[in-house]
Homo-oligomer: A and B are copies of this chain.
Amino acid sequence: MAYTFSTALAGMTGTATRDIFRLLSRPEIISFAGGLPAGDCLPIAQIREITAEIFADPKEAARVLQYGQTEGYPGLRELLIPLIKEAGIGGLIDNENILILSGGGQGLDLMIKAFVNAGDVVLVENPTFLGFLETLKAYNGVSIGVKADRDGINLEDLEAKIKKYKPKLLYAIPNFSNPTGKTWPAERRKTVAALAAKYNFMVVEDDPYGRLRFSGDAVPSIKSFEKDLNGKDLHGPEEHVVYISSFSKTVSPGLRTGFAVGNAAVIRKLAIGKQGADLHTSNLSQAIIKRYLEKQYFYPNIEKSLPVYRERKTAMIGAIQKYMPGEFVHTNPDGGLFIWGEFSVPVNTVEIFKEAIEQNAAYINGTVFYADDGEGGKAGVLGANTLRLNYSNESPERIEKGVKALGEVFKKHITALGKK
C-alpha cells in the first residue's frame, strides 16, 4: 500500500532540509546556514558541577528521575519571575502564568494547537521563522505574510490584513528576528499590543534572542505594553499576548528548555496540550536550569558570551563590505544570530546555492522564510533574491574565508547578468 498520511503532514516531506544538512555535514564547508549558538560559550564546566550536585542529593536525584508535573519542575517557575519582569512584563506574575516548555518551539506548537482551527489565518512578518510556518501547516492553518521595513513589521499593512483576514494569531519575533536580525522599536510594539486588544486576536511573542544583545539598548516586550486605560498592567482575560522564550541561546539548546508567560487560563490550556505532547519537560534539564539560575551563573555567562557574538557579527559585516558585491543590501543587527541580505539585482539564491557549496560556503536561501503575502506573492517564490547568514558558530577567520567565497560566486553571477 501507499501510506495515506493526514492532510496536515501529507505535503511535508522535509526533503530539501535533509539534503541541505547532508551537504553541510562535509567538514570543509564553512556554514552560515545553521542557527547554532556559539559552541565556545556553552557552560560545560558549570553544568558538569551542577549535575554532580543534583546526583549527590539522593532526594533531588529521585525527584529528577521520577515523573514530574506538566507545568514545571518544583521551584523553577518561581525563579523565572525576575527574568520575566525584566522583559518589562509587570504586575502579578506567578506560577499560574508560566509553563515550562521543551524548548521555545514547543510554545509555538502549543499556541497553534490551542487557538488555530483548520483554515484559520495566522499573520506573520514576512519573512519569518521557517519552523513556525511548518508547524502551522501541520495543523492545517494558513499563514499570511505582512510587509516589513527596516524596523520590522509594517503597521499599515498589518492593520489592513487584520481587517481583511480576521486572524486568530499574530506571530512575532520582535528582537533580532529569525531570519532578518531586525528589532521592532518600542512604539511599534505598543501599537501591536493595542491592535490585538482592538481586533481581538492573540499575539505569540517569540523571544529566543532578546538577551543576546551586544549593542544598543533593550526594548520592552510587546507583552509589557498590555495596559488598561489607566496604564495599569493587564492580568485578566483582556491579555492577548503570550510571551515565549527559551534557554537555548543563553544556556544550552541541547537541554530543550523554554517557557511561556501569559494569562492563567491560556497557560492552563497550553499545559493541557503539552500533557498529550510530552507530559513534561525532562526533569534533569529543568533541575539543571534551576540550579544554574540559583547559582547566579545566568547573567555573568551571557555577559561573557556577548563579546564573542559581537566579534563574529563584526567580522561578518566587515567581510560582507569587503567581498560581497555592492548590490547586496543587508541588515546589521544589534544582537542575535542572523544577518539578512537582499540583492538589488535579480540573482536567484536558490539556484546559486549549489555553486556556493562547491566553493565550500553555505547560506540559506531566503524563499523558505516567506509566507504567501495575500496579494499574489507566493511562498517559495517571494524572496528569490534574498538569503540568511548565521555568524554565531564560526570563527572570525572562517567567517572571512566563507564570505569571500560567497562574494566571488555572487559577483560572477552579477557580472553575467550585466552581459545579458
- List residues of A whose CB falls within 8 A of some B CB: 1-9, 12-14, 35-37, 39, 42-44, 47-48, 51-52, 55-56, 58, 61-68, 102-103, 105-106, 108-109, 113-118, 131, 134-135, 138, 168, 200, 202, 237-238, 240, 248, 252-256, 263, 265-266, 268-269, 271-273, 275-285, 288
Q: Which residues of B contact A51 (CB under 8 A)?
A: 51-52, 55
Could you list 21 A-B pairs, sorted by A, with CB under 8 Å?
A1-B237, A2-B237, A3-B237, A3-B263, A6-B116, A7-B117, A9-B272, A9-B273, A14-B268, A36-B66, A44-B62, A47-B65, A68-B254, A103-B279, A134-B276, A138-B276, A254-B283, A277-B277, A277-B278, A284-B285, A285-B285
Interface centre among A6, A116, A200, A238 (most CB of B within 10 A): A6
Q: Is A278 a contact partner of B256 (Cβ separation < 8 A)?
A: yes
Q: Which residues of B contact A237 (CB under 8 A)?
A: 1-3
Q: Which residues of B contact A108 (CB under 8 A)?
A: 276
Q: Is B255 a contact partner of A114 (Cβ separation < 8 A)?
A: no
- Give bound CA distance, A1 to B47, whole Å: 44
Q: Which residues of B contact A268 (CB under 8 A)?
A: 14
Set B1, B138, B202, B266: member contacting A238, Cβ < 8 A: B1
Closest 6 CB pairs of A and B: A48-B55, A135-B276, A254-B283, A65-B252, A282-B282, A102-B278
- Give bound CA distance, A7 to B66, whole Å: 33
Q: Which residues of B contact A279 (CB under 8 A)?
A: 103, 105, 131, 256
Not counting A3-B202, A285-B285, a sample of 14 additional A-B residue pairs whose C-beta atoms are within 8 angstroms of each other reads: A1-B240, A4-B115, A9-B269, A14-B271, A37-B66, A65-B253, A102-B102, A102-B256, A102-B282, A105-B278, A105-B279, A134-B276, A254-B284, A278-B278
